[in-house]
Chains A and B, each alone.
Chain A
Amino acid sequence: MNQHEKETLLSIEDLNFSFTTQRGIVRAVRDLSINIKKGETLTLVGESGCGKSVTAHAINQLNPMPPGHVDSGKIVFNGTDLLTLKKSEIEALRGTQISMIFQEPMTALNPVFTVGSQIADVFLTHQDMTKQEAMEKAVELFRLVKIPAPERRVHSYPHQLSGGMRQRAMIAMALASPNPGLMIADEPTTALDVTIQAQILDLLQDLKQHIEMSILLITHDMGVVAEMADRVVVMYAGRKVEEADADSIFHNPHHPYTLGLLNSLPSNKKYKGARRLEAIDGTVPDLLTIGEGCPFANRCVYQTGECSRSFPKETIISESHSVWCHNYQAVKTENRQ
């Protein structure tokens, strides 16, 4: 209950985002609404190309525009609609209240500057301080993200650090702000090996407890979702298909796509039963030729005639759980335990 009383930090309302390409208009995000409360971790789940990164990049306007453009909708952050802001106002928000970490720590840090100077530059951009002070702040942040020998490491170039260390440095850079409000983490662990992944997720959890911040976590890894999420939004081909608290997603999924995602997870418990890893048949529809119906219809075993005609309305399962499916009742909840 406590969650609901908290203030909303960011709300995306009916966002439509598309890209003009030589082949036509690609509708990357359609009628998407999400809310992030203060101190909450929301994960955006879906496969590559489902619009989760476009959504995240739409918030601080990092999508290349053109060819991208917002067709309609609002992105309200702390009471202001970000889409009405001027470029300089958005620049002022980036790195202070909305920061971001990326998937590839290998390529996300500038190879010709030391990691410390890159972090110091963020401080210098937003705050009035000397280079020396900014560098000291960078060392402090390195300590916060648990990089060993921070005084020495700030003078390293990215290629001198390991993948995990680089991701820590990225996180440190995202924290280079007096009051980080929202951290957008775009697949922060995808490029890392499993043990490092766990360390980075632990670090993020840890930081969240230290600093009052919200995290928008983008991932296609249900394992990461289980570890991190308070709430989960499942996206498919630019649409939100299910939204629920983390518990309900795992134990009581209502959308056939969510179910498919969960069934394609390898599981230790099923070892004895020798269950074959399931895959969702078919491929993601082409966003250029996608119609008005449910985008998942062509892959869905519960598909009926209605599905290809119209996109379903929201069905509220419980206070914290909604699904967008015509046949959610037919979806047998295959309990995975």
Chain B
Amino acid sequence: MFKHILKRLSLLIPTIFGVVTLVFFMIALAPGDPARVMLGERANAEQIEQLRAELGLDKPLIQQYGLYLSRIVRLDLGKSITSGQKIASEIKERFPATIELAIWAMLFATVLGVLLGVTSAIRRNTWVDYTTMGGALVGVSMPVFWLGLVLIMIFSVWLDLLPTGGRMNIRYFFEPITNFYVIDGIIMWFKEGTPKFLVSALRHLILPTIALGTIPLAIIARTTRSSMLEVLQQDYIKTARSAGIKERRVIYRYALRNALLPVITVIGLQFGLLLSGAILTETVFSWPGIGKWIYVAIGARDYPAVQGGIIFISIFFVLINLVVDILYSVVNPKIRLQ
């Protein structure tokens, strides 16, 4: 088990190297001169040359790449052109918001998706199954930003039940501690004796969670259903039934544990994709996370910020995949022992 994890960890290095290289060339080879774009149309040749020198863009590409790699190794992502802040610290500041939203969205998608998938499978070819799977098809086809806007229109504008965006009621005097607002809300409840921060944080989370979680929810439900149907045909399910194990237990322990193997892979992949989905969701809901930050950076032609943001998200994606792999071997004893 330990060896397995070590092996997977050592495979991370070439993967990350590949990611970093890809991101560099993607941006370096994109059309347009960053310096010219940044300075705008009225800048003169001299100013442009100066900025190019500052950014190191006057050097040959291969040398730029070398410099860039040496900075990455020292975990230095550079400075944002627009704010002048270190990119690493900008990411650090915004990342909890993104992760908090992603975790809630994933929890929402996983719990509901697995439940719906299992229900569909055991009620196969009934109206329950048709409704769920039809809904899943609609869910997977819906663009995130559009769904976000529709949710805002219904629940915020028409029904006036939930906030349109942000993470916390702006009238509250609120000093973030961990930057995970739900946790902060709980801490504040203990400190100040009022749950209002927690309630506000949760209320702000509801719509973005649904918007971001709908696609993974649909995919997880469909995967669970088909996997479950396959497992329920297996001999060992018949064995369990023939031994008098209660039907509920047969389904939720004997069958589901096996059916979850492919679902875990999907959950991992979806969690990674969620981070890119976050760019749209965060923008729609003015959620101050990495996604919105990258979106703004793209608009402002802040190349180092875009580069840093993409690298960060990519590495995070790779790490999630590692976690999924390890989780997979915990659930599946066959992998564990190889």
Contact pattern, A 92-110, Cβ under 8 Å of B = 1, otherwise 0: 1111100110101001111
Partner of A94, one of B241, B249, B334: B241
Residues of B contacting A: mostly: helix
Inter-chain CA distance A267–B244, complex, in Å, is 41
The answer to whether B16 has its CB under 8 Å from any CB of chain A is no
The answer to whether B235 has its CB under 8 Å from any CB of chain A is yes
Segment among A36-44, A120-128, A224-232, A233-241 that sits at the interface with chain B: A120-128
Q: Which residue of A lies closest to B334 (CB)?
A: A159
Number of interface residues of B (CB under 8 A): 22
In the complex, what residues of A have CB within 8 A of residue B243's CB? 94-95, 99-100, 121-122, 125, 173-174, 176
In the complex, what residues of A have CB within 8 A of residue B333's CB? 111-112, 157, 159
The answer to whether A91 has its CB under 8 Å from any CB of chain B is yes
Q: Which of A134-165 contact B (CB under 8 A)?
A: 157, 159-160
In the complex, what residues of A have CB within 8 A of residue B258's CB? 110-112
The answer to whether B337 has its CB under 8 Å from any CB of chain A is yes
Inter-chain CA distance A83–B332, complex, in Å, is 38
Q: Which residue of A lies closest to B241 (CB)?
A: A62
Q: Taking the nearest CB of chain A, how far is it from the CB of B302, in angstroms?
A: 49
- The answer to whether A125 and B246 touch (CB under 8 A), given A104-B235, A110-B254, A112-B332, is yes
Q: Which of B321-338 contact A (CB under 8 A)?
A: 331-334, 337
Q: Taking the nearest CB of chain B, how far is it from the CB of A215, in angstroms?
A: 15
Q: Taking the nearest CB of chain B, how far is it from the CB of A184, in angstroms?
A: 8
The answer to whether A258 has its CB under 8 Å from any CB of chain B is no
**Do the beta carbons of B257 and A62 come within 8 Å of each other?**
no
- The answer to whether A108 and B334 touch (CB under 8 A), given A91-B244, A95-B243, A122-B243, is no
**Do the beta carbons of B247 and A108 come within 8 Å of each other?**
no
Interchain Cβ contacts within 8 Å, total number = 80
**Do the beta carbons of B334 and A157 come within 8 Å of each other?**
yes
Inter-chain CA distance A60–B331, complex, in Å, is 31
Number of interface residues of A (CB under 8 A): 33
**Do the beta carbons of A95 and B244 come within 8 Å of each other?**
yes
Contact pattern, A 54-79, Cβ under 8 Å of B = 1, otherwise 0: 00000010100000000000000000
**Do the beta carbons of A111 and B334 come within 8 Å of each other?**
yes
The answer to whether A170 has its CB under 8 Å from any CB of chain B is yes
Q: Taking the nearest CB of chain B, how far is it from the CB of A137, in angstroms?
A: 14
- The answer to whether A96 and B236 touch (CB under 8 A), given A111-B334, A112-B332, A159-B334, is no
Inter-chain CA distance A204–B245, complex, in Å, is 24
The answer to whether B234 has its CB under 8 Å from any CB of chain A is yes
Residues of B with Cβ closer than 8 Å to A?
234-236, 238-247, 249, 254, 257-258, 331-334, 337
Q: Lowest 3 A-B CB distances belong to which pairs?
A: A95-B244, A94-B244, A95-B243
Residues of A with Cβ closer than 8 Å to B?
60, 62, 87, 91-96, 99-100, 102, 104, 107-113, 118, 121-122, 125-126, 157, 159-160, 170, 173-174, 176, 184
Task: Provide a sorted-by-A list of 13 A–B residue pairs whose CB atoms are within 8 angstroms.
Answer: A91-B245, A92-B244, A95-B242, A96-B244, A102-B242, A110-B236, A110-B240, A111-B334, A113-B254, A121-B243, A125-B244, A159-B334, A174-B243
